[in-house]
Amino acid sequence: MKIHIYYGGRGLIDDPTLVAVRVMMTVFEELNVKVAKYDLFDQKNNITTLPQTLKEADAVILASTVEWHGVGGMMMSFLDACWLYGDKERIGKLYMAPLVMSTTYGEKEAELDLINAWQTLGGIVCPGISAYMPEVSELENNEQYRLLIEKAAENIYRYVNQQIISLPVSVMAVRKAAYKTRNTALTQQETEQLSEYASDEHYVAKQKEDIRELTDLFKGKMSEKNRVGEEEELPEAFRRQFKPQPNTHLKYKINLKGKAKALVLRVEGKDLEVSWGDVVYPDVELTMEENVMREITEGRKTFQGGFMEGAIVSKGDFKSLRMLDSMFPF
């Protein structure tokens, strides 16, 4: 079992939510549960891709502190990203337990907000914790409070382990009526532009089908590929898959770690030149491991997918990077 904890507070030393999270993590570790904690204040630049981490979890804990009103902006940004970019089918199988500590007032309202948000996403809610804790010392020094948190953690484990179901709720009807996949191009961050594709369930399914077909096709060409020299193998793969795009004049430099020379692609309309060497002022320069390039040419990964997961470092025009998957549909 794997539980992800998403902490939406500010990381202050006197935050009672952090104390409760530590107590819960200790209990989960004793129960041989794998725990991953994500501090949203550290992940604010990657908030749109963070919902992809939900695919690895069996349950999540949304932990937040009410300092003046509501669960705070970082938690709401994360929930927004789940709505826009999250895999709704996966979220529909995920259990969520709210953990809310208030230093002022409103912990019950904040807990209800988290529950309603998760149910609107289609997920399953299990009992969590909400409490008024103006001083962190009250929680640290009160053994009975710690026992209550430990019991709550055990109940979450039991709830998920036994796969306890919940009765239907009316917000599911709202989700079916209101949710639509975003198709417009996003411009705020490059990760947001990539998340548009990662969040489109139909697009992902089509990509997987195409990858399977290309993989079978590639396997059939293995004998032909073996006749090509090692140095010419990669350039030949690009030449075979080249699909010209109108009015395209681009230069790409691909650095493979461990290789002395870079792979250079020069695209002039319908003409393609591939060679090992160097190029001055490329439109896009990529750096990756050789095994990542192998996964791309074997149809198991795309250039966009590799960039989104951090396996590829890119410099240059982002639109030109996206053109690679159109011109070379491995």
Looking at the fold, whether 233 and 111 belong to one and the same domain comes out as no
Tens of pLDDT, residue by residue over 94-145, are 999 999 999 999 999 999 999 999 999 999 999 999 999 999 998 999 999 9
DSSP assignment letter at 53: G
Looking at the fold, whether 25 and 91 belong to one and the same domain comes out as yes
Looking at the fold, whether 147 and 204 belong to one and the same domain comes out as no
Q: Is residue 194 part of a domain?
A: no
Long-range CB contacts for residues 293-301, cutoff 8 Å, separation at least 24? 293/234, 293/254, 293/256, 296/330, 297/218, 297/234, 297/237, 297/330, 298/215, 298/218, 298/330, 299/210, 299/211, 299/214, 299/215, 299/217, 299/218, 299/330, 300/211, 300/215
Looking at the fold, whether 17 and 124 belong to one and the same domain comes out as yes
Per-residue pLDDT of the chain (330 residues; tens, 9 = 90+): 999 999 999 999 899 999 999 999 999 999 999 999 999 999 888 899 999 999 999 999 999 999 998 998 999 999 999 999 999 889 999 999 999 999 999 999 999 999 999 999 999 999 999 999 999 998 999 999 999 999 999 999 999 999 998 887 776 666 566 555 444 444 445 555 555 555 566 766 777 787 878 777 776 665 455 544 557 888 999 999 999 988 889 999 999 998 889 999 999 989 999 999 998 889 999 999 999 999 999 888 999 888 888 899 988 887 888 888 889 988
CATH of the domain at 40: 3.40.50.360
Looking at the fold, whether 47 and 156 belong to one and the same domain comes out as yes
Residue 74: domain span: 2-178
Looking at the fold, whether 152 and 205 belong to one and the same domain comes out as no
